[in-house]
Each structure stands twice: as structure tokens, then as C-alpha cells.
Amino acid sequence: MDSKAIKQERTLVLLKPDAVARGLSGQIIVRFERAGLKIVALKMLHPSPDKAGGHYSGPDDWVSGMGQKTLDSFEQFEMDVEEVLGTADTLEIGQMVRGWLIDYVSAGPVIAMVLEGVHAITAVRRMIGFTIPSRAEPGTIRGDYAIDSNTISSLEKRSTKNLIHASGNAEEAAQEIAYWFDESEIISYTRADEGVMF
């Protein structure tokens, strides 16, 4: 079995409207390329709310997970989530967050791309940093270019502006790539430095 084929993965990355509007797209893309990840598909589009909603259409446990992150942040800062959001139920909070995400991603142009490389899913997640920028490590994309927090965004009834989305695992990557790209839009090629890097 070919060792390169085993290690190679594809993952979806979305540069969200705040990354595009702030002119950070090139700086973010170059970080992926310098790390050895290969862009095999790329396009700019302005998603409709329906398109964004399809992207954020996970099961109830995924929605509750988003609600739990928000609840945890409120508890960390000793804030009353029920006073601000009207509920402490993680599913209800998650549904609010999902609505804010749809508004956020459909608010302007995004850049969608498929990256390919050795352990690409894990590598990209490590490079982008923690979902909540105020908790992301320096040196990560979110840690270097964003500062928003989900507590502040919840108080303002909006999504946390965190610049970027990347698939969380292989199953999610396959679903998301198929959602944003036709197979004909994904290009196979060899980078000039692949022989040196691998």
C-alpha cells in the first residue's frame, strides 16, 4: 500500500465574510500553502441563507454542543444566561447560535476551498486555533487575527466573528466538500515541492 495515499486527506475550509472584508484572505491562504497543504479547489461566492443553513444543519447533539460552549462561557464570567438569552437549555441556545451563524455566513462573500495534504484535517484545525478567538493561542490564525468572544457576541445576539471554518473530522470533511463543490471542481496535481517535503 502506498504510504502517501494513506496520509493524504482533504478538508473543507471557509474564509468567512469577516476574513474577506478585512482583506485577510491572502495572508490566511499563504499560511496553509507554506505548511505544505495543497489547494485543490477554490472559489468565492456569496452564500444565500439557505446555502449557509445547509452547511449548519447538524443533528441536535451538535446544536446542543454549540449551546453548551455558550453556556460554559456565561458561567466562566459569572453571567446569567437566562437573563440574556431567556433560557439555559443548551439545545435552545444552540438553535439561537445556529441562526446567528447562518446570518453571519450569508452576510457577505466567503472563500471556499478544499485543502489536501498529510493529515490535512488535524493540521488545519491546529493552524486555525480554538473556535472562540479570545481563547485561541497566539500563532494560530484566530489567535493572530481575531479577538471576539462568544459571550460578547451572545450579548449582542450575533455569531462570534472567528474568520474561518474547517472540517472537524473525515466524515464531516467528506460531507462539507460535497456540499460546497462538485467533483469536477476538485483538481489533482503535483506541487513542485512535494518530493522535498514528503
Q: Is 46 a catalytic residue?
A: no
* Rg from Cα positions in the chain: 17
Residue 170 CB neighbours (<10 A): 13
Catalytic entry in 46, 55, 119, 165: 165
- Asked whether the beta carbons of 21 and 182 are under 8 A apart, the reply is no
Nearest residue to 186 (alpha-carbon basis) of 38, 46, 48, 44: 38
Quick one: residue 87, left, alpha or beta (phi over 0 = left, psi -120 to 50 = alpha)? beta
| Catalytic residue IDs | 165
